[in-house]
Chains A and B, each alone.
Chain A
Amino acid sequence: MATTTEAAPAEGTTGESTEAEGGAHHVFPPLDSKTFPSQLFWLVIFFAALYLLMSRMVLPRIAAILEARKNQIDGDLARASALKDETEKTLQSYQKALSDARGNATDIAKTTRDKVDGDVNAKRAALDATLAEKVASAEAAVAKSKAKAMESVHDIASDTAAEIVASLTGGKVTKTALSKALADAKS
């Protein structure tokens, strides 16, 4: 208790206050053990009250605010990333649809071209066949006409020969003799 003895003269020099407060306060107030029970008693009461107020009421309130903010931020970030994913997915499906459509278009163009080509070929073949038929029949007709013409020439020649013989000799020639002579002349 060295402090107490030091404090006493200090109070003495500054003087009148100790007298005004009454002679009981000769000890240095912060070390006056007479006030200890009262201070301890009220400290326990008020600190317990503070602890209860803090732990039951005030701190949960602030924690709830911070928690709500954290949830909000986390939720917003999650939603943003979900939207980003969705955008990417949409973009991918769009590109897939685009390439599908392009493939389909190529397919349709190819099949159409093939079909048209086939049609053209078939028609051309049919046309070729009819044309060849016509040519063949025309050729046959020509050959027939030619043969007929040749026969007419033979007849005309034998007639002409008979006429010539008749006018030259005045005699009649038999048909068989003429044919024989013509055949001889030909060979």
Chain B
Amino acid sequence: MANDPIHQFQIHDLAGPFHVGGYEISFTNSALFMGVIVATITGILTLASSKRALVPGRLQSVGEMWYGMIDNMVKNVLGEEGKAFFPLVFSLFSFVLVANMLGMFPYFFTVTSHVIVTISLALFVIGLVVAVGLYKHGLGWFKLFVPSGVPLAILPFISLIEIISFLSRPISLGLRLFGNMLAGHIVLKVFAGFVVSLGALGGLGFLGALAPMLMAVALTALEFLVAFLQAFVFAILTCVYLNDALHTHH
């Protein structure tokens, strides 16, 4: 059981099963960890901002850097009009970051390793882009797919490419995060499994277990980097896509 690299992705009911309108919406370990994520983010940031010190302490500095990083990102990519989207981008970044980081703890469930979660977040972002684009620019927003200054002969072709590239955004946005988290966790588990299997052989196997052991340690460091990076990429791509909705400059 401990050797199965897939086991960590299993979802099981903690309460329920509940059924609403023919759908099963039981409170699962995934739901529990979503709650833990929200509690962790809120807890850390509330604690960080509780002292309101003029010269920030360690925790307050973390909170301010966290805030400042997303604030700068939104300002740089979206400009002043993007202020309204700051809480959303902040929530998306924090949710993905803490989900990925909590997933690094052994026996913890990684919410973002399930495709439905990442694709839903991505579809929500793209849906918001379309909604904001249509709200701001009306039907003129569709000019996004008709770049200016392109010869009429190849314009339909270019537009087709633009449309396909737009439609592939939620897929790439969601699958990138899902794939990274899934693959990282499987690889970690596989190497950790090697350590246990080889170590169990004793003698020479014990020596042989050193290589996957070092690999697992190195991969753990890499996974921490990936966990942060994927959250950052998700947030910045959200900003870039929202920029298309706010400013149609093509």
- Residues of A at the B interface (CB closer than 8 Å) are 7, 10-11, 14-17, 20-21, 25, 28-32, 34-43, 46-47, 49-51, 53-55, 57-59, 61-66, 68-69, 72
Residues of B within 8 A of A54 (CB): 41-42, 45, 87, 90-91, 94
Residues of A within 8 A of B91 (CB): 47, 50-51, 54-55
Residues of A within 8 A of B86 (CB): 59
Q: Mark B70-87, 1 if CB is under 8 A from A, else 0.
A: 000000000000000011
Question: Which of the candidate stretches B108-116, B138-146, B208-216, B237-245 sits at the interface with the other chain?
Answer: B108-116
**Does B165 sit at the interface, judged by CB under 8 A?**
no
26 examples of A-B residue contacts, CB within 8 angstroms: A16-B1, A21-B12, A28-B9, A29-B11, A29-B114, A30-B113, A30-B182, A35-B30, A35-B116, A39-B116, A41-B23, A42-B30, A46-B34, A46-B35, A49-B38, A50-B37, A50-B41, A50-B94, A51-B91, A53-B42, A54-B42, A54-B94, A55-B87, A59-B87, A59-B90, A68-B54
Which one of B9, B37, B64 contacts A30 once the chains associate, using CB atoms below 8 Å?
Answer: B9
Is the pair B42, A58 in contact by a Cβ cutoff of 8 Å? yes
Which one of B11, B20, B63 contacts A35 once the chains associate, using CB atoms below 8 Å?
Answer: B11
Q: Is the interface of A mostly helix, strand, loop or mixed?
A: helix
Q: A15-B4, A68-B54, A72-B54 are in contact. Are A39 and B38 (CB under 8 A)?
A: no
Q: Is the interface of B mostly helix, strand, loop or mixed?
A: helix
Is the pair B37, A38 in contact by a Cβ cutoff of 8 Å? no
**Does B7 sit at the interface, judged by CB under 8 A?**
yes
Residues of B within 8 A of A51 (CB): 87-88, 91
Per the bound structure, the CA–CA distance linking A163 and B5 in Å amounts to 184
A135 shortest CB reach to chain B, Å: 97
Q: A50-B38, A55-B87 are in contact. Are A43 and B117 (CB under 8 A)?
A: yes
Interface size on B, residues (CB 8 A): 53
Number of residue pairs spanning A and B whose beta carbons lie under 8 angstroms apart: 145
The 5 nearest A-B residue pairs measured at CB: A55-B87, A42-B31, A37-B23, A46-B34, A29-B9
Per the bound structure, the CA–CA distance linking A62 and B2 in Å amounts to 43
Is the pair A62, B67 in contact by a Cβ cutoff of 8 Å? yes
Task: List residues 8-34 of chain B with CB under 8 A from any CB of chain A.
Answer: 9-12, 20, 23-28, 30-31, 34
Which one of A38, A47, A53 contacts B28 once the chains associate, using CB atoms below 8 Å?
Answer: A38
Per the bound structure, the CA–CA distance linking A20 and B7 in Å amounts to 11
Per the bound structure, the CA–CA distance linking A48 and B165 in Å amounts to 29
**Does B249 sit at the interface, judged by CB under 8 A?**
no
Which one of B5, B31, B67 contacts A14 once the chains associate, using CB atoms below 8 Å?
Answer: B5
**Does B148 sit at the interface, judged by CB under 8 A?**
no
Per the bound structure, the CA–CA distance linking A58 and B10 in Å amounts to 33
